[in-house]
Structure 1
Amino acid sequence: MKNPLLQDWTTPYEMPPFGDITDDHFEEAVDAALDEARANVAAIADSDAAPTFANTIEALERADETLGRVLGVFYTLAGTDANDRREALSRAFSPKLSAYGSEIASNAALFARIETLWQDRDTLDLTDEQARLLYLTRRSFVRRGAELDGIAKDRLAQVMQRLGALGVQFSQNLLADEREWVMELGEDDLDGLPEWLVEAARAAGEEKGRKGPVITLSRSLIVPFLQFSSRRDLREAAHSAWTARGANGGSTDNRDIAAEILALREERAGLLGYDSFAEFKLETEMAGTPEAVRDLLMKVWEPARAKAVEDQQRLSAMMHNDGVNGELEPWDWRYYSEKRRAEEHDLDDSALKPYLQLDRMIEAAMDCANRLFGLEFAPVDVPLYHPDVRAWEVTRDGRHMAIFLGDYFARGSKRSGAWCSAMRSQQKLTGDIRPIVMNVCNFAKPPKGKPALLSYDDARTLFHEFGHALHQMLSDVTYESISGTSVARDFVELPSQLYEHWLEVPEVLEKYATHAETGEAMPREMLDRLLAANTYDMGFSTVEYVGSALVDLEFHAGEAPEDPMAFQAEVLDGIEMPRAIGMRHATPHFAHVFSGDGYSSGYYSYMWSEVMDADAFAAFKEAGGPFDAETAQKLERHILSAGGSQDAQEAYVAFRGRMPGVDALLKGRGLDDAA
C-alpha cells in the first residue's frame, strides 16, 4: 500500500488525509523525505553552473519541501495527541533531523556558493525580499558553524544532536508528569468550588476513567481550584504537584537534563566564538544584548515587586482574619486574591464565567478580524485528527486566504499550554500557497451537552493565539522561510499580544459576552467592573513572569551552573522574590526554555513585545478608535503581511514612526505609580 504521506493530497484544500495516515507511515515517510532532501541539497552544492540566486537560494527553499510537509503532520499529532509510538518516533527522529541539519551547515561547497552570492550581492539586482533572504540564509549558515572546520565542526554537530534529543526527552517527561497526576475529589472536598468548576472536574474524571470529579494539572482546572477551594490542605497538595512537574525523581525528572542542556549551550556558543549563549542567541533579536534585556526586565521588576509586596501584606491580613496563622504561602495567594477581587471590584468568577462562552469568544475574535482586515470565516468539512478539532475556511473578498483549525480542549495526550503553529506556511515560490494554521489550547472540556465556559484569562489566551494565527493568515511574501511568524523572537509576540487588546474593547464584550443560559448580554455595570479590574493583581502576574525571565537570562549569560536549581534560588534571592510568589515556570517544567531552542535566553520576549503592543494599540486610539481602517491597513502592510522580509525594528518604525519606551507598558499594567 502506498504511503499517504508521500502522495499528492486530493483532499479539500489539500489537507492531510488524517483518516488514511497511521503511525506506521511516519518512519518510512521521514526517511524517504530526508533522502530526497539530501539529494536536492547535493544537486545544488555539486552543480557545475555558476551560483545564482535562483539555483542556490531559491533551490534551497524548495529542497526539503516534502520533509516539511511530513513533519508538519507528525509534530501536530505528537504535540496534540501523543501516544507511546509517537513519543518513540519523536526520540528517533531527533538525531536524524539534527544530523541532516549539521550536514547542510557543514557542506563546504554549498556554503561557498552562498558566500559567492553574498560577496557579489550588490551586482545581483535582487529585490528587497531577496536581499533579506540572502542575508538571513548566510547568517544562519555561519551561526550553525559553516565557518568552522575539523574538530570544532564535528563537535558542534555532536552538541546539536545531543541538544535535540534532550529537548525531546524534557518535553516527554513533562507530559508524563502532567498526564499521570490526578487528585480525586469526594463530596467533602468540593467546599468553595463553583458549580461550573465541579462540572469541569467531573468531565475530567470521565476523561480519566474515574467515577467522580478530579483535578488534573491542566491550567484551566488547577488555577480555578487554587482560586476557589476553601480546603487549604488540598490547595497545598494541588500546588505542590503543579510546581513539582519534572522534579519528582525517577525516569521523568528533568533537573539533570536541564543542567546538561545549559552546559551544551555554553559549549555551542564557545565553539562559535561567543562569550556566552545569551550573547549568541540575542545577537539576532531586537534586544541585541543581555544587558539590554536585563535593563528592561529590571525597569519593570522594581515597581512590580513593590506592588506585589503591598498586595502580599493585604492578603496575609485577610488570611489571619480567617484564623490561619503563619505566613501567606504560594497556595494561598490565588484564593485570597480572588476574595479580595470580589470585595474590591464586586466581581465573582462564578457570575462572570457564564458570559464567556468559548463559542462566543471564538466568534468575537473572528468578528474583530473581519472588521479590521476584512477576513471571513466559514466552517468547512475537512479531514481532522481528533473529534474535538474544528475547521474554518478563511476568505477575503472571495479569495481563499487560509484554513484555520481550532483545538481547544485539554486532554491527557496533549502537551500543556497554548500555541499557534502552521501545518503549511504561506509562500509564492511554488504557486499561491496559502497556510493551514492551528490554534491549540487547553481549556477545560465541559460535560456533554453543556457549553464550554472560559475565565477572562482563558479568553485573553484565545485572542492571543488568534493574533499569532492572523500573522500566518495575512502573510504575503514569496519565500516560506520568512513568511508568517518567521521573525525575531522578541517581535513574534507583538501581533498576538496586540490582539489581546480587542478583548478589552467594550463594544466587543457587549456583543459577544452573552449568558450561556439566558442569552442576555453581560450587564453594563458588570462589564465596567470587569474592565476596571483589568490590572488587578498585576504585581503578582508581573513578578512571576519577570522572575522566570530573569532566571532564563542568567542561566545563559555566564558560565553554565552545575546545579540549576541552586542557581535558580540564587537568582531569585538576589532580586528578593516575594516568598508567596513562585516563578511562572520553574526550571524542571520550563518548556519554553528547555524543550527546544525557541525561547532560550528569550523568555523576556513577551515583555519586549509588550512595550510595542501597548504603543501599537495606542496608535488605533489616536486615530479615532480600535477599528480604524487606515491604522489596520498599516498594521497589515508593515507587520502582519511582511513576515521576516525586513528588520523587525524597521518594520515597527514603518508602522508607528518611532520605537516606544517602557512607560506605556507600565501604565498598561497599572504599575506606573507603584512605589
Structure 2
Amino acid sequence: MNPLLNQPFSTPYQTPPFSTFETKDFKPAFLHAIKNARLEIKNIAENQAEPTFENTIEALALSGEALSRISSIFFNLNSAETNDEIQQIAQEISPILSDFSNDVLLNEQLFARVKKVFEEKESLSLNNEAQMLLEKSYKNFKKNGALLSSENKEKLRTISKELAMLSLQFGQNLLAETNDYQLHITNKSDLEGLPDFALETAKEEAESRNLSGWVFTLQMPSYLSFLKFARNRKLREQIYRANGVKAFQNNDKNNTEIIKKIVRLRFQRAKLLGFETHADFVLDERMAKSKEKVNNFLAELLKKAYPLAKKEIENLADFAKGIDGIEDLMPWDHAFYVEKLKKQRFDLSDEELKPYFELNQVTEGAFTIAQKLYGISFVPNNKIEVYHPDVKVFEVKNKAQECIGIFYADFFPRVGKRAGAWMTSFRDGSFVNNLHKIPQISIVCNFTKPTKNEPSLLTFDEVTTLFHEFGHALHALLAKTQYESLAGTNVYWDFVELPSQFMENFCYEPEALALFAKHYQTREVIPKELVDKITASAQFMEAYQTVRQISFGKLDMAWHATDPSSIDDVDVYENQAFEATQVYPKISGTNMSTSFAHIFQGGYSAGYYSYKWAEVLDADAFELFKENGIFDTETAQKFHRLLSAGGTVDPMKLYIEFRGKEPDINALLKRAGILAQ
C-alpha cells in the first residue's frame, strides 16, 4: 500500500514516517486522496436531510483530511528538501489541486446548503467558534465565486489554475538562480576583513564543490557575511549585483513576464468577484480593511521615519568617507560600514556577540522563556522521524506533562532548501468528536552551519529570526480550538505577525538574555556591558530599517492596489514605486520584484504591510509586559489566551481583551527611537 495513504500513520503521535515515503509515491497518493475527498464532498452536497451545521458546515470542515496531510508533507518538502523530481510533481499536481478546490467552492448544490445554514444562523444555538466557522465558510464560498454566473465560474477556474502554476514557477526560478551563483575566490588577499567562521564555511563550501580556495553563495549566511565583513569593495559590489539580478537576467529563469501575468490575473479575479483591485479582495478579510487605510498607515510611518533615515545614511556616508575616503556610498557598502559604525559607536560587533549565541543554547533559551510564560516544556524525541538529518524534533508538554504538540527545527541552508526563514505545519491542532489531534509544527531557517572547528554561532539578527519563527510556532502549538481551519496561525494576515514579532522583544531584555546568552567555550553569561550595548544599539539605524520595510509594503501595494493592465516594464514600474522611499541610488540592472517571493510565491500579496502593522501591535503589547514585568504570570496568562484562540475571535476584539484598549502607533515609534528624536 502507498505509505502516504496509510493514515492515520502508526507512528508516535501520528507524525509523518518520512523514511517510508518515496518521491514516486506522491502523485498517486494525491490522485487517490482527491478521489476520496470528491466523494466526501458529493455525500455532503447530495445529503437528502435538511442542511444543518453538523451535516454541512462541520462535515465540510472535516472533509479531505488525508489530502490535507499529503499536501502539507509534500509542499513542506518542496520548500525545505526539494529536488528536480519533486519540483516536476509540483508542476503536475498544482493545477489538479486547483481544479479540485474550484470544484468544491463552485459546487452550486453544496453552496446552497451552506447558504441555507448561514441564513438560519440567528436561530441556531452555536458557540462562538462554530459561529466563526459558519461565517468563514460562507464567506469563503462567496469570495471564491459561488455567486458568479456559470460563464464567470469557468473564467475563475482558469485564472486560479494559471495562478497556481505561475506562483510555483516563480519560486522554482528563484531557487535555481540562488543555487546557480557562486563567488569563487582563490586569492587570499581578497578575503581581508572576513572572520574565521566565514572563511571556514566558505572553504568547506568550496570543498563540497570540488574547488580550491573559498566559495561564497547567495544563501543568506554566506551572502550577508561577505557584505558585512569583506574589505574588497569590488567583490562586495559583485555579489550584491548577483543577488539583485536573481530571476532578472536574460535567460529562461527570468520572472518579469511571470510577475506581469500574476498581477493581471489577480486583478481579473478581483474584478470578477466584485472587487475594485486585488488589494480590495485581500483586505476584505484583514484588520486594515481597505487599501486606503494601508496606504495611509504606510504614509504616516514614512513621513515620520524618512527624514531620520536620510540623516542616518548621511551620517554613514560621512563615516565611510572619513575612514576610507568613500565618495559615493552605495548599497553594497551599507552592511560593511554599518558594522564598523556600530562597533565605533557602541563598541559592539556581531563577532563580539556571536560566541554568546551558540545555536543550541539560543534554542534552549527560547524554550525556557516559553516555559516561564506559558508553563510548557520541550523534550527531545529521537524516535520521531525527520526528513533530513539536520532536523531536530521535540515533544511539547504542558504542566501536567501531557504532550500538546510536536515541534520540528530545521536550521541550516542546503541546496534543496529555499532561502529565508518560515514557520509551517504538518498538521494543525483540532479537538472534534472527543478526538484530540495535536499540532505538528516546524520552523525552517538558514543559519550559519557548524564547521569542523566551531559550532553554529548566530549573529544577533539570526537570534531575533529564531525567536520570530518560534513565536509563530507557539501560536500554533498553544492552539485550543475545535477546528483545524481556525487553529493557531489561521488568523488574519495582518494579525499573524503579532506573536512572532512579540517574541523578538525578549532578545533585548537583560532578564531574558541571562537565561541563554552564554559563551560557548567558557559558559560565562553575557556581561552586563554587552547587554547594555545591545539595548543601547536597539534603535541604531532603525529609521532606515523602517523605511526599507515601508518600501517593500509600498511596492506590494503598487502591484496589487491598482489596475496593472498597462504595466509594460517591471523595472520602470518598480522604480516608480520605490521613488518616495529611496535613500540609496537605484542600481541599474537589478530588480527586487523578480525575487519578492513573499508576494509572488508566498501568501503576502497586498499584505506585506502587515509586518509593520503587527509591529505596532507587538510594541504596544510588550509595553504591558514591561510595565508589569516581562515574565509576569497574569500578563502572560492573558497573552496565552490571545494565542490559544487562533482564528475563533475577531483579532481586534481579541487584542482589546488582552490590552484593554486598541493598539497605539506611538508605542512602535517610541521603541524605534523615531518619536523621541
Calculate the TM-score normalised by the size of structure 1: 0.97
- From the superposition, tell whether residues 504 and 320 of structure 1 become closer, same or farther in structure 2 (CA, over 3 Å): closer
Specify the alignment match of 1:291 in structure 2. 292
Specify the alignment match of 1:521 in structure 2. 525
Listed one character per residue, the Cα deviations across residues 515-554 of structure 1 (whole Å, up to 9, x for unaligned) are: 1222222221112112210111112221221101101012
Listed one character per residue, the Cα deviations across residues 60-101 of structure 1 (whole Å, up to 9, x for unaligned) are: 112110001111111121110110000001111110111011
Distance in 2 between residues matched to 1:390 and 1:559, nearest whole Å = 46
Specify the alignment match of 1:610 in structure 2. 615
Distance in 1 between residues matched to 2:3 and 2:658, nearest whole Å = 46
Specify the alignment match of 2:133 in structure 1. 133
Tell me if structure 1 keeps the 8 A contact 2:396–2:406: yes
Specify the alignment match of 1:143 in structure 2. 143
Specify the alignment match of 1:503 in structure 2. 507
Aligned-residue offset at 1:207: 4.2
- From the superposition, tell whether residues 263 and 320 of structure 1 become closer, same or farther in structure 2 (CA, over 3 Å): same
Supply the AA of the counterpart residue of 1:269: A
Supply the AA of the counterpart residue of 1:606: Y
| Counterpart check, 1:406 vs 2:409 | yes
Distance in 1 between residues matched to 2:208 and 2:413, nearest whole Å = 10
Aligned-residue offset at 1:325: 4.9
Specify the alignment match of 1:492 in structure 2. 496
Q: Equivalent residue of 1:403, what SS? A: strand
- From the superposition, tell whether residues 491 and 581 of structure 1 become closer, same or farther in structure 2 (CA, over 3 Å): farther
Distance in 2 between residues matched to 1:635 and 1:576, nearest whole Å = 35
Tell me if structure 2 keeps the 8 A contact 1:202–1:447: no
| Of 425-434 and 20-29, the range deviating more from structure 2 | 425-434
Distance in 1 between residues matched to 2:13 and 2:213, nearest whole Å = 42
Supply the AA of the counterpart residue of 2:513: L
Supply the AA of the counterpart residue of 1:545: Q
Distance in 1 between residues matched to 2:395 and 2:149, nearest whole Å = 49
| Of 101-110 and 324-333, the range deviating more from structure 2 | 324-333
Supply the AA of the counterpart residue of 2:316: L
In the alignment, which of 451, 457, 480 is matched to residue 447 of structure 1? 451
Distance in 2 between residues matched to 1:328 and 1:673, nearest whole Å = 27
Q: Equivalent residue of 2:411, what SS? A: strand
Specify the alignment match of 2:655 in structure 1. 652
Q: Give 1:51-450 correspondences, 5 Å limit.
A: 51-186=51-186, 187-381=188-382, 382-396=384-398, 397-429=400-432, 431-448=435-452, 450=454
Specify the alignment match of 1:533 in structure 2. 537
Q: Equivalent residue of 1:432, what SS? A: strand
Listed one character per residue, the Cα deviations across residues 135-179 of structure 1 (whole Å, up to 9, x for unaligned) are: 000001000000001221110110010000000000010000111
Specify the alignment match of 1:33 in structure 2. 33
Distance in 2 between residues matched to 1:333 and 1:269, nearest whole Å = 40
Tell me if structure 2 keeps the 8 A contact 1:540–1:581: no
| Counterpart check, 1:567 vs 2:573 | yes
Aligned-residue offset at 1:564: 2.6
Distance in 1 between residues matched to 2:63 and 2:38, nearest whole Å = 8
Supply the AA of the counterpart residue of 1:318: F
Aligned-residue offset at 1:52: 0.7
- From the superposition, tell whether residues 313 and 479 of structure 1 become closer, same or farther in structure 2 (CA, over 3 Å): same
Listed one character per residue, the Cα deviations across residues 558-580 of structure 1 (whole Å, up to 9, x for unaligned) are: 1112333211111222x151125
Distance in 1 between residues matched to 2:168 and 2:532, nearest whole Å = 45
| Of 180-189 and 131-140, the range deviating more from structure 2 | 180-189
| Of 159-168 and 585-594, the range deviating more from structure 2 | 585-594
Specify the alignment match of 1:3 in structure 2. 3
- From the superposition, tell whether residues 325 and 371 of structure 1 become closer, same or farther in structure 2 (CA, over 3 Å): closer
Supply the AA of the counterpart residue of 2:153: K
- From the superposition, tell whether residues 310 and 89 of structure 1 become closer, same or farther in structure 2 (CA, over 3 Å): same
Aligned-residue offset at 1:581: 7.9
- From the superposition, tell whether residues 99 and 480 of structure 1 become closer, same or farther in structure 2 (CA, over 3 Å): same
Aligned-residue offset at 1:422: 0.8
Q: Equivalent residue of 1:490, what SS? A: coil
Distance in 2 between residues matched to 1:531 and 1:580, nearest whole Å = 31
- From the superposition, tell whether residues 580 and 460 of structure 1 become closer, same or farther in structure 2 (CA, over 3 Å): farther
Q: Give 1:544-583 correspondences, 5 Å limit.
A: 544-560=548-564, 561-573=567-579, 575-580=580-585
Listed one character per residue, the Cα deviations across residues 33-78 of structure 1 (whole Å, up to 9, x for unaligned) are: 0001101001100111110111101111121100011111111211
Tell me if structure 2 keeps the 8 A contact 1:544–1:582: no
Aligned-residue offset at 1:300: 1.4
- From the superposition, tell whether residues 15 and 210 of structure 1 become closer, same or farther in structure 2 (CA, over 3 Å): farther
Specify the alignment match of 1:462 in structure 2. 466
| Of 585-594 and 34-43, the range deviating more from structure 2 | 585-594
Q: Equivalent residue of 1:251, what SS? A: coil
Distance in 1 between residues matched to 2:128 and 2:4, nearest whole Å = 38
RMSD over aligned Cα atoms: 1.6
- From the superposition, tell whether residues 197 and 449 of structure 1 become closer, same or farther in structure 2 (CA, over 3 Å): closer
Aligned-residue offset at 1:291: 0.9
Tell me if structure 2 keeps the 8 A contact 1:493–1:606: yes
Listed one character per residue, the Cα deviations across residues 86-135 of structure 1 (whole Å, up to 9, x for unaligned) are: 00011111101110111111100000000000111111111111111000
| Of 515-524 and 89-98, the range deviating more from structure 2 | 515-524
Supply the AA of the counterpart residue of 1:670: G
Listed one character per residue, the Cα deviations across residues 620-667 of structure 1 (whole Å, up to 9, x for unaligned) are: 1222x0001111111111x21001001111111111111122111111
| Counterpart check, 1:592 vs 2:595 | no
- From the superposition, tell whether residues 595 and 650 of structure 1 become closer, same or farther in structure 2 (CA, over 3 Å): same
Tell me if structure 1 keeps the 8 A contact 2:405–2:440: yes
- From the superposition, tell whether residues 8 and 370 of structure 1 become closer, same or farther in structure 2 (CA, over 3 Å): same
Tell me if structure 1 keeps the 8 A contact 2:2–2:29: no
Q: Equivalent residue of 2:395, what SS? A: strand
**How many residues align structurally?**
670
Listed one character per residue, the Cα deviations across residues 371-409 of structure 1 (whole Å, up to 9, x for unaligned) are: 000001111011110000001111012111111000000
Aligned-residue offset at 1:514: 1.3
Tell me if structure 2 keeps the 8 A contact 1:548–1:585: no
Q: Equivalent residue of 1:423, what SS? A: strand
Q: Equivalent residue of 2:495, what SS? A: helix
Q: Equivalent residue of 2:432, what SS? A: coil
Tell me if structure 1 keeps the 8 A contact 2:508–2:534: no
Distance in 2 between residues matched to 1:450 and 1:319, nearest whole Å = 32
Distance in 1 between residues matched to 2:139 and 2:209, nearest whole Å = 48
Aligned-residue offset at 1:351: 1.6
Tell me if structure 2 keeps the 8 A contact 1:490–1:605: yes
Identity of aligned residues (%): 37
- From the superposition, tell whether residues 541 and 204 of structure 1 become closer, same or farther in structure 2 (CA, over 3 Å): farther
Distance in 2 between residues matched to 1:473 and 1:537, nearest whole Å = 34
Tell me if structure 2 keeps the 8 A contact 1:9–1:16: yes
Tell me if structure 2 keeps the 8 A contact 1:118–1:138: yes
Q: Equivalent residue of 2:444, what SS? A: strand
Distance in 2 between residues matched to 1:582 and 1:484, nearest whole Å = 41
Distance in 2 between residues matched to 1:315 and 1:570, nearest whole Å = 25
- From the superposition, tell whether residues 86 and 662 of structure 1 become closer, same or farther in structure 2 (CA, over 3 Å): same
Supply the AA of the counterpart residue of 1:562: D
Q: Where in structure 1 are there 5+ consecutive unaligned residues?
A: none
Aligned-residue offset at 1:673: 3.6
| Counterpart check, 1:46 vs 2:46 | yes
Q: Where in structure 2 are there 5+ consecutive unaligned residues?
A: none
Distance in 1 between residues matched to 2:635 and 2:53, nearest whole Å = 35
Tell me if structure 2 keeps the 8 A contact 1:196–1:350: no
Q: Equivalent residue of 1:428, what SS? A: strand
Supply the AA of the counterpart residue of 1:671: I
Supply the AA of the counterpart residue of 1:132: M
Supply the AA of the counterpart residue of 1:24: K
